[in-house]
Structure 1
Amino acid sequence: MSRSIDINKRTELKRLLLTLDVKAIPLWGKMTPRQMVEHLVDQVQWTNGKKTATCDRPAEEAERARQLMIYTDRDIPRNIFLEDLPDEYLYPDMETAINQLMTELDDFDEYFKKPGRIAIHGGFGPMNYDEWLIWHGKHFGHHLMQFALM
């Protein structure tokens, strides 16, 4: 069963993130709480027009992966490493990073107000707003579970 969060419930999401102790140890993985929040900021920026991704998978393979991860209850595997963790933080403190995440999510909504707009996922190819809502919900839920926030 997928553990997802509704990213449109921003007040609840922000409240959950603000309860996270900056010294919390993850249940799995190596991220610190701030690295996790800054990772989410970065990931949302790929979906709100600030960064442009490419998908290097063949279209049929990307479509199969999208169908599996978007349209099923399959969870994101634990301990999957797709990028190196940064040595330095981008934001001065956790609250600033969380506020930036909320801004990026608002920009995500604004970006997709234009009909027919898509954003590319590096492994799933082009996705529309509804598909991104599902994916972000799973991705955020994955990291909230990583820190026992849900």
Structure 2
Amino acid sequence: MEQPIDITNRTLLRKLLLSLDENAVPLWGKMKPRQMVEHLVDQVEWTNGKKTPTCDRPAEEAYQSKQYMVYTDAEIPKNVFLENLPDDFKYPDMETAIDQLMKELDDFDQYFKQPGTTAIHGGFGPMNHQEWLIWHGKHFTHHFKQFGLI
């Protein structure tokens, strides 16, 4: 796997997302471009203190999944389906959704300023800042590839 997107490079993230046509058809999957951006907003909110996540998997199973998905070159499979897509958009337009994603990422940075902070991943259990940087990078990369942004 090539290097995942660096989510700390907000200038590049914003530039790539703003280049996405709201009517673009994904290379795989059912998401529309704005659904993808709003999905990323939602996912980052679970890691910046705004939502309280839980992990319902046994600790050892979650740990093993984290070791594989975070610490190897494993990619998120295409067409993985974990949640229903909402019929309505939360934000009025693509640019507003992108702006919200940038805000949530800034809040993510602030949340992890306190040493020792963790946030729960629903399948991997507690993760520290570095683990979240890797995982969000893989997740963003997955969706950016889905829409041909990289």
TM-score by length of 1: 0.99
Q: What is the distance in 2 between the residues matched to 1:80 and 1:73?
A: 17
Contact between 1:7 and 1:133, CA under 8 Å: does it hold in 2? Answer: yes
Contact between 1:2 and 1:75, CA under 8 Å: does it hold in 2? Answer: no
> Which residue of the partner structure matches residue 92 of structure 2?
92
Q: What is the distance in 2 between the residues matched to 1:80 and 1:146?
A: 12
- What is the letter of the counterpart of residue 16 of structure 1? L
Contact between 1:70 and 1:131, CA under 8 Å: does it hold in 2? Answer: yes
* Equivalent position SS for 1:120: strand
User: CA-to-partner distance for each residue in 1:77-100, whole Å, 9 max, x for gaps?
Assistant: 010111000010000000000000
Q: What is the distance in 2 between the residues matched to 1:131 and 1:101?
A: 19
- What is the letter of the counterpart of residue 105 of structure 2? L
- What is the letter of the counterpart of residue 74 of structure 1? A
Count of paired positions? 150
Q: What is the distance in 2 between the residues matched to 1:126 and 1:13?
A: 26
> Which residue of the partner structure matches residue 130 of structure 2?
130
> Which residue of the partner structure matches residue 72 of structure 1?
72
Residue 4 (structure 1) shift:
1.2
Alignment of 1:107 onto 2:107: yes
Q: What is the distance in 1 between the residues matched to 2:38 and 2:4?
A: 19
> Which residue of the partner structure matches residue 33 of structure 2?
33
* Equivalent position SS for 1:119: strand
> Which residue of the partner structure matches residue 55 of structure 2?
55
Contact between 1:2 and 1:138, CA under 8 Å: does it hold in 2? Answer: no
Q: What is the distance in 2 between the residues matched to 1:37 and 1:3?
A: 21
> Which residue of the partner structure matches residue 116 of structure 1?
116
Contact between 1:3 and 1:75, CA under 8 Å: does it hold in 2? Answer: no
Please report the RMSD computed on the Cα atoms of aligned residues, expressed in angstroms.
0.7
User: Structure 1 vs Structure 2: percent identity of aligned residues?
Assistant: 72
Residue 3 (structure 1) shift:
5.2
Residue 115 (structure 1) shift:
1.0
Q: What is the distance in 1 between the residues matched to 2:68 and 2:23?
A: 34
Runs of 4+ in 1 over 3 A off after TM superposition: none
> Which residue of the partner structure matches residue 5 of structure 2?
5
User: CA-to-partner distance for each residue in 1:23-71, whole Å, 9 max, x for gaps?
Assistant: 0000000000000000000000000000011000000000000000000
> Which residue of the partner structure matches residue 43 of structure 2?
43
Q: What is the distance in 1 between the residues matched to 2:95 and 2:4?
A: 23
Which consecutive unaligned segments of at least 5 residues does structure 2 have? none
Contact between 1:20 and 1:149, CA under 8 Å: does it hold in 2? Answer: yes
